[in-house]
Amino acid sequence: MSLSIGQVAERTGLSVHALRFYEQEGVFVDPVRRGPGGRRVYSQDDVDWLTVCIILRASGMPLPALRRYTDLVREGAGNEEERLALLREHRERVTSQIGRLTQCLDLIGFKVGVYEDLLDGAQPAVEPGRPRPSDGGAAPASTPGTSA
Amino acid sequence: MSLSIGQVAERTGLSVHALRFYEQEGVFVDPVRRGPGGRRVYSQDDVDWLTVCIILRASGMPLPALRRYTDLVREGAGNEEERLALLREHRERVTSQIGRLTQCLDLIGFKVGVYEDLLDGAQPAVEPGRPRPSDGGAAPASTPGTSA
DNA sequence: CTAGGAGCTGGAGTCGGCTCTAGGTCAAGC
DNA sequence: GCTTGACCTAGAGCCGACTCCAGCTCCTAG
């Protein structure tokens, strides 16, 4: 089971550039094998590992952290506490990011609602276009951004 | 109610640099007033608007989109459909981002669980450190990244 | 009167994460 | 023999969103 860089790019969604870049950044657990002509040969393991990396990246883990984690895995057994700590920390960040986004979603939903009402023919409760008379900050029970 | 750039920085959490930068990028609905000596003078409205902007930015709206939205508001009444469209689109993106993050969280939680079990003295079901025998991609019912 | 602190402008620098270019190797197909 | 296409390396470039710098103007306090 060996794949060329192009094939890996195709099935991971990463670009060949990104794959070489990741390699250079030390994101592979063991050095990518080389075939004739110095061409990279990837194993299924490599692809599986990449899949994990992609998920970690997608959840906002920066490359240095990913590299650190990779280093720990490469070192082998004995540093599981550190790996766990790293993962937990990242989980925290993802959780709080979801929380933050959910809050933002509330505001956005509120504003969408305002415009929907406004365009549904209801007479504008406060004002439509650009309410100069102090608005935008406060609304029903601490809902910011009521205007515009 | 007028504030200096420093005061606004303080109560929005943005840097004074960022405030000037935002102004330059057209993120204020109307031009920031100037006091004696050409100093910026912000109104409560400005701060309220910034608060909205900060939330939109925090939820990943890029500056150009934020500028576009600001432009629409500045134009005044008549383009509410476009504002609504812009907000809905952004809401979509935020929603799907939350979805993606939640999925990532699943994987991370799974891996955290694996390491917790492993460190809790349970004998490693498969292998602890670095399971060469093909792993990492498949696990209980399509759970990726079982290894490491 | 002078030193500090906040503010001003225009423009350069930074950082993360790729992305692209230039110049080259190699194997296969026409 | 020649082109095409996938790959190689080293290194430059890009984008977004700031961040910082140099060199200046004010005002206020000591």
pLDDT tens-digit map of B51-88 = 999 999 999 999 999 999 999 999 999 999 999 999 99
pLDDT category of residue B1 using cuts at 50, 70 and 90: confident
Q: In this predicted structure, what is the pLDDT of residue B50?
A: 97
Q: Which of A51, A132, A137 is nearest residue B51 as measured by Cβ atoms?
A: A137
User: Where does residue B69 rank: exposed (0-12), middle (13-18), buried (19+ CB within 10 A)?
Assistant: buried
Q: Which of A77, A90, A116 is nearest residue B129 as measured by Cβ atoms?
A: A77
Residues A130, B73: C-beta atoms closer than 8 Å: yes
pLDDT for residue B131 is more than 70 = no
Å: B125 CA to C4 C1': 67
Query: What DSSP assignment string belongs to B41-62?
Result: EEEHHHHHHHHHHHHHHHTT--
Residues B56, A104: C-beta atoms closer than 8 Å: yes
Minimal CA–CA distance to A22: which of A60, A76, A70, A59? A70
> Alpha-carbon distance A108 to A100, whole Å?
12
Residues B128, A56: C-beta atoms closer than 8 Å: no
Question: Which chain A residues are within 8 Å of B49, Cβ to Cβ?
Answer: 136, 147-148
pLDDT for residue B8 is more than 60 = yes
Higher pLDDT, A61 or B145: A61
Residue tagged 């029970």 (tokens):
A141
pLDDT for residue A110 is more than 50 = yes
Picking from A67-76, B5-14, B136-145, which range would have the lowest pLDDT averaged per residue? B136-145
Distances in Å between the alpha carbon of A143 and those of A108, A109, A133, A139? 10, 11, 17, 5
Q: In this predicted structure, what is the pLDDT of residue A121?
A: 75
CA distance B39 to chain A (A): 22
User: Where does residue A141 rank: exposed (0-12), middle (13-18), buried (19+ CB within 10 A)?
Assistant: exposed
pLDDT category of residue A137 using cuts at 50, 70 and 90: very low
> Alpha-carbon distance B131 to A84, whole Å?
17
Question: Is residue B77 within 8 Å of A130, Cβ to Cβ?
Answer: yes
User: Where does residue A107 rank: exposed (0-12), middle (13-18), buried (19+ CB within 10 A)?
Assistant: buried
At a CB cut-off of 8 Å and minimum separation 6, what does A146 contact? A110, A114, A126, A135, A136, A137, A138, A139
Residue of B nearest to A60 (CA): B101
